[in-house]
């Protein structure tokens, strides 16, 4: 059973920074791709950043240059470092993992495993 647990979300002021963490065995599973999504209950989740099994990263245009996705294999942890936060970044942030991804990095239905989310509020 793959379990993902996010943490690090909190309330910050505009222009501030946060670093989210996602811990779970899927982070270091061979061949797995990882991603961060964000969204509110009842709304479709938006892909924010992805990290594939070859270490390649991809970012949504809205966060490119401000957010950085990375992982620490020794700690089984995926990170999302967020700088220059804006009120429109306010959302629940979710960590996702899938054995293959199939090139659909920001398609929520592509990902088999999800965390419970961590709330980020920017004001």
pLDDT by residue (tens digit) across 33-89?
999 999 987 789 999 999 998 999 999 999 999 999 999 989 999 999 999 999 999
pLDDT at 101: 77
pLDDT at 42: 79
pLDDT at 56: 94
Q: How many CA atoms lie within 13 A of 118 on its CB side?
A: 19
CA atoms of 3 and 14, how far apart (whole Å): 32
pLDDT at 31: 85
CA atoms of 82 and 118, how far apart (whole Å): 14
pLDDT at 93: 98
pLDDT at 100: 84
Neighbour count for residue 63 (Cβ, 10 Å)? 23
Beta bridge partners of 5: 23
Per-residue pLDDT of 18-46, as tens digits, reads 999 999 988 888 889 999 999 987 789 99
Give the pLDDT band of residue 107 (cuts 50, 70, 90). Answer: very high
The tokens for 58 are: 């991809």
Give the total residue count for the chain: 123
Strands 57-59 and 67-72: unpaired
């Amino acid at each position: 059973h793959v379990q993902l647990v996010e943490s690090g979300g909190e309330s910050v002021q505009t222009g501030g920074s946060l670093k989210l963490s996602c811990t779970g065995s899927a982070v270091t599973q061979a061949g797995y791709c990882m991603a961060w999504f964000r969204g509110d209950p009842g709304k479709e989740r938006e892909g924010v950043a992805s990290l594939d099994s070859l270490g390649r990263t991809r970012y949504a245009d809205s966060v490119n240059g401000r957010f950085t996705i990375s992982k620490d294999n020794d700690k089984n942890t995926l990170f999302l470092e967020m700088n220059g936060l804006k009120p429109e970044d306010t959302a629940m942030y979710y960590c996702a993992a899938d054995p293959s991804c199939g090139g659909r990095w920001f398609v929520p239905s592509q990902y088999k495993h999800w965390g419970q989310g961590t709330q980020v509020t920017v004001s």
